[in-house]
Structure formats: structure tokens, C-alpha cells
């Protein structure tokens, strides 16, 4: 089922993205300085204008969006991971207590006096 889903949606997506990349091979200027687009935004040449194909800009945006979404989801699930760690710790403590009590019970059974014989 997964393979069919990947084939039905993955193949058309691959074809469309490849067609987009081939159709947008020309270089475009990407600048982060809205006032003087031909100058770097920060001193020292940081965030200087860059010429790149349009498809690179699109794929970079998709990649950055995927990473940002993954980080945001990971941060939001922090409370559930914390709760799972706390419950696992509590379970481990209870299991240790159970083993300790079982050992104590066996020791007590080993040292217990025999039951008195019944008279008929």
C-alpha cells in the first residue's frame, strides 16, 4: 500500500518538480537589502546579493520550511516526551520495589518455622 501511494503521488510530483526546474534554469538575483538591492545587507559582505537559478530558490525554501516545521513539531512535543520520561522512571522504581519485596518474601519463606502438624 505504501509503495502504491508513493508511486501514485511521488512520481507525478517528481515529474512536476523536474519540469519546473528545467523551465526555470535562468539566473535571478536574490537580494536581502530592500533599499539598495545591489549592496550587501550587513557590513562585511554578509547577505550579499546572489545570482541563482529560480528552482534553487524554490527548493531551498521548501527545504528550510521542512526543517523549521520539524523543529517546531519537536519543540511542541516536549511536554509529552517529559511525561513519558517521568512515567518510565516511576515504572522503573515500582519494578525495583517489586523485585526487592519478592526477594524479601523468599527470604522470609526460607527462614519461616514449619507449620505445626495436625492431629486427627
DSSP designation for 87: H
Query: Hey, what's the cell of 113?
Result: 518455622
pTM over 0.75: no
Which of the 8 DSSP states describes residue 6? Answer: I
> What is the tens place of the pLDDT at every residue in 30-40?
888 888 888 88
Check residue 115 and give its pLDDT.
76
∠ CA 16-62-13 to the nearest 5 degrees? Answer: 20
DSSP per-residue string spanning 18-61: HHHHHHT-SEEEE-S-SS-TTS-SBTTTBT--EEEEHHHHHHHH
Q: What would the pLDDT profile of 51-102 be if each residue is shown by its tens digit? A: 999 989 989 999 999 999 999 999 999 999 999 999 999 999 999 999 999 9
Mapping DSSP to helix (H, G, I), strand (E, B) and coil, where does residue 66 land?
helix
User: H or E stretch including 7?
Assistant: none
Amino acid at each position: 500500500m505504501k509503495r502504491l501511494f508513493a508511486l501514485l503521488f511521488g512520481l507525478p510530483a517528481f515529474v512536476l518538480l523536474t519540469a519546473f526546474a528545467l523551465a526555470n534554469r535562468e539566473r535571478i538575483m536574490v537580494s536581502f537589502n530592500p533599499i539598495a538591492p545591489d549592496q550587501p545587507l550587513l557590513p562585511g559582505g554578509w547577505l550579499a546579493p546572489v545570482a541563482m537559478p529560480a528552482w534553487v530558490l524554490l527548493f531551498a525554501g521548501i527545504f528550510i520550511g521542512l526543517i523549521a516545521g520539524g523543529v517546531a513539531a519537536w519543540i511542541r512535543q516536549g511536554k509529552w516526551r517529559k511525561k513519558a520520561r517521568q512515567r518510565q522512571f516511576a515504572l522503573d522504581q515500582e519494578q525495583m520495589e517489586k523485585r526487592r519485596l519478592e526477594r524479601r518474601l523468599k527470604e522470609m519463606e526460607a527462614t519461616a518455622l514449619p507449620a505445626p502438624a495436625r492431629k486427627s
